Amino acid sequence: MVAHSFRGEVFGPAQRLHGATFVVDARFKRADLDSDNIVVDIGLATERLRSVLGELNYRNLDEVPAFAGINTSTEFLAKHIADQLADLVHAGELGEGARGLAAIEVSLHESHVAWASYERPL
């Protein structure tokens, strides 16, 4: 759950402060399973995703210094979350096996018809 506003006519009434509630999915991709026959430690991935989302949840994103002057669109937020998870993978925070990941995809769903995703290589 976040609050934010946008700049630009393309956003119509969403230029005013409004709330958004997202369901967030993170997909971890690799070519081969690791030595434990998994893609990633799902427990660690869940914990780390929860920590990344904790920085955004119940916040007015217009007031977050790192987002100053940025339209925090669904696509932007998907990219931000994917980048944060990638940083955690590189830091070893998802376990050593996660270093074999090829990509991360993050999808944010506001509804069954309003969603966006972003995929980035590792």
pLDDT of residue 116: 97
Q: Look up the domain containing 108 and give its range.
A: 2-6+21-121
Q: Is residue 14 part of a domain?
A: no
Sort residue 8 into left (φ over 0), alpha (ψ -120 to 50) or beta. left
Q: How far apart are CA 21 and CA 108, in angstroms?
A: 9
pLDDT of residue 120: 98
Domain count, the chain: 1
Residue 82 sits in a domain of what CATH number?
3.30.479.10
Q: What is the mean pLDDT of each run of 10 residues along the chain (122 residues)?
A: 97 95 97 95 97 97 96 98 98 94 97 96 97
